[in-house]
Chain A
Amino acid sequence: MQHLVITSYTTVTALGRGQDAAVRALQEARGGLHPGDFADADLPMWIGRVPGLEQVPLEGELTPFDCRNNRLARAALECDDIKGAVAAARERYGANRVGVFLGTSTSGIRATERAFSERDADGRLPGGYVAHYRQTQSPFSVADFVTRYLDLRGPALVVSTACSSSAKVFATAWRHIQAGLCDAALVGGVDSLCLSTLYGFNALELISPEPCRPWDRTRRGISIGEGAGFALLESPAKAEGRVALLGYGESSDAYHISTPHPQGEGASVAMEAALNRAGLGPRDIDYINLHGTATAANDAAEDRAVVRLFGAQVPCSSTKGWTGHTLGAAGVTEAVFCALALERGFIPGTLNTNEVDPELRAGLVKAGRHEPIGTALSNSLGFGGTNCTLLLGLVR
């Protein structure tokens, strides 16, 4: 298999709902972060929240799935007519021949957090929560919801590898299609705001008190965001000129559970593997969307890995300053930004970054610019030392 064409795609983040909202924000230099106002979280931080999720519960037969995470999934499925594209694929291949592979790190744990704060005098959880545990808290809940919402009946699973989750689903889709288990796949990722990640990253002292500033000399950590993204992968008869997944690479650091390998060795292996699978070399890459979380450790390690492989010339940017770090949705969100960069000829900038760290040498793009590109690489690096690189490009 040479590539998988992305025939439809969308994303919802703090930048707005759908492709055009994201492009407008990126081109008008309007970020999505604002001072933390999620639930009653009382931490000095900025977050990328998707407005309006509180007001629109799931209804009808999918009511048991109602939670912030599944509402966010539905919000994305209502954008850019991806539902129509999926319906056409279902028609073309059969409902059991379209796979659903989604990434999430925390699924609907917000429902569990609420339930724990509403325990009765005997410590028991509310009955409504207990009855709908599988539809909210269970890791598979978001894929279960999406397959029902779209009436898809093929192989489905959730990848939960922290911040690489929704990059790795592209690799899972590639393998399933290659092995003949399905003909097309809806891949994506959904991660919604919850207290677990806000207070957890805070306990690790990784949360920035101001909007995150990737690659900046005085960067102070991450800003957390929420997001969802979906992409339909298939092999249509006419691929020329369309955005496709050309390759992917995966690796492990085998170093530390929450700190990246300081030389970025695992990230290098993932990027090399993506190039090899696509049959391309470092000189063939026109743009790199960095993982770029704005922690001291991530940016230093990733910079070393990128510079070792690509030198300091390839334009690179991190979009975390726009959306916040959407964790399990970061992989697909940033793959969507790469697809938009390819189709619309616009390289996004690195928002909030003032003075680039002199220790970091990658070719950081601070202000976005119009420039036609043919290939784009996207890195996703996560806790547990998991690395995944996606290589997207316009099919020639």
Chain B
Amino acid sequence: MSAVWLNSVGVVGPGLDGWAQAARILSGQAPFAYRPLEPIEPELLPANERRRTTPTIRLAMHVAHEAVGRDVASERSGLHSVFASAEGDTEIAAKICQALALPGRPVSPTQFHNSVHNAPAGYWAIATGWRSPYTSLAAGDATFSAALLEAFSTVVSDKVPVLLVAYDLPAPEPLTAAAPVTEAFALALTLAPDHSHAALGQLELSLSAGNPTVCLNHDLERLRRGNPIASALPLLEVVAMSQDREITLTGTGMDAVRVGFTPTA
């Protein structure tokens, strides 16, 4: 099966603040200290747009921006993008369902158009001016691996670079008891069909039976188990350590998704 190049990573979570800082923790050079996520204010959005967005939208845009780099404009035509979230914007879903339970059912028009699962992707396209295709997907506990397969198959079949952005936030009350996400986590990756000086290494994907890899740093297990996107943490550990190693991610069907990483020499 073909391989793709991993060029950059963006990441944010409780105690993880950007790839440079996270890579030191993930490679064992610095200890992990759990710290609840601060509110995020993405630079790309003008202040009036920012007000209309939600924490989920801002989280997605923040990690996407980190992975693409400061100079989003140099990618003017845009990368094909795969946005992914297991549960979508549960804060908006709760607000709309709350409004529907009130007399007169006063659903806010802004909340309604922000409620689509692809709202983060739509705001990202507007902010960057990218007209390239994006998708927005969900696959439960396997949401990250499904996004990786979709991104991988796009790089392989269309020979184009791809931006992958995946994110989930814990649901607000009263959905907290029902929704499976307990920790905030988001990451973004850029993948490319050809080698460049930016490449961190090569990813090789295959499908076969296996159990998901756990984090080498057991302190990170709380995150990995508390957010379907954080199932990517063992992969990020391998990348941060520049190790030549294969990890296994939960798949949707009979097979797991095996990801081999070969660091750039």
How many of A's residues come within 8 Å of B, CB to CB?
71
Once bound together, how far apart are the Cα atoms of A176 and B146, in whole Å?
A: 11
- Indicate whether A226 reaches chain B with its CB closer than 8 angstroms: no
Indicate whether A140 sits within 8 Å of B139 (C-beta atoms), given known contacts A175-B150, A200-B115, A253-B131.
Answer: yes
**Which residues between 166 and 198 of chain A lie within 8 Å of chain B, taking CB atoms?**
168, 171-172, 174-176, 178-181, 195-196
Binary flags per residue of A374-396, CB closer than 8 Å to B gives 1, else 0: 00000000111110000000000
Question: What would be 15 A-B contacts, judged by CB atoms less than 8 Å apart?
Answer: A96-B254, A116-B94, A138-B140, A139-B88, A140-B143, A160-B88, A160-B137, A175-B156, A179-B1, A179-B156, A203-B108, A251-B132, A252-B121, A253-B125, A384-B119
How many of B's residues come within 8 Å of A, CB to CB?
68
Once bound together, how far apart are the Cα atoms of A174 and B133, in whole Å?
A: 15
Inside 8 A of B121's CB, which chain A residues have their CB? 161, 252, 384, 386
**Which residues between 90 and 117 of chain B lie within 8 Å of chain A, taking CB atoms?**
93-94, 96-101, 105, 107-109, 112-117
Nearest to A162 among chain B residues (CB) is B116
Inside 8 A of A156's CB, which chain B residues have their CB? 139, 146, 252-253
Verify B126–A256 contact, CB threshold 8 A.
yes
Shortest beta-carbon distance, B214 to chain A, in Å? 22
Binds B, one of A6-14, A58-66, A129-137, A332-340: A129-137
Shortest beta-carbon distance, A200 to chain B, in Å? 3
Shortest beta-carbon distance, B170 to chain A, in Å? 13
Shortest beta-carbon distance, A35 to chain B, in Å? 19
Q: Which single member of B100, B128, B136, B158 contacts A254 (CB below 8 Å)?
A: B128
Inside 8 A of A161's CB, which chain B residues have their CB? 116-118, 121, 134-136
Verify A105–B116 contact, CB threshold 8 A.
yes
Shortest beta-carbon distance, B246 to chain A, in Å? 17
Verify B126–A385 contact, CB threshold 8 A.
yes
Indicate whether A196 sits within 8 Å of B123 (C-beta atoms), given known contacts A203-B109, A266-B131.
Answer: no
Verify A158–B253 contact, CB threshold 8 A.
no
Binds B, one of A118-126, A284-292, A343-351: A118-126
Inside 8 A of B177's CB, which chain A residues have their CB? 124-125, 130
Once bound together, how far apart are the Cα atoms of A250 and B136, in whole Å?
A: 13
Indicate whether A386 sits within 8 Å of B118 (C-beta atoms), given known contacts A161-B136, A203-B108.
Answer: yes
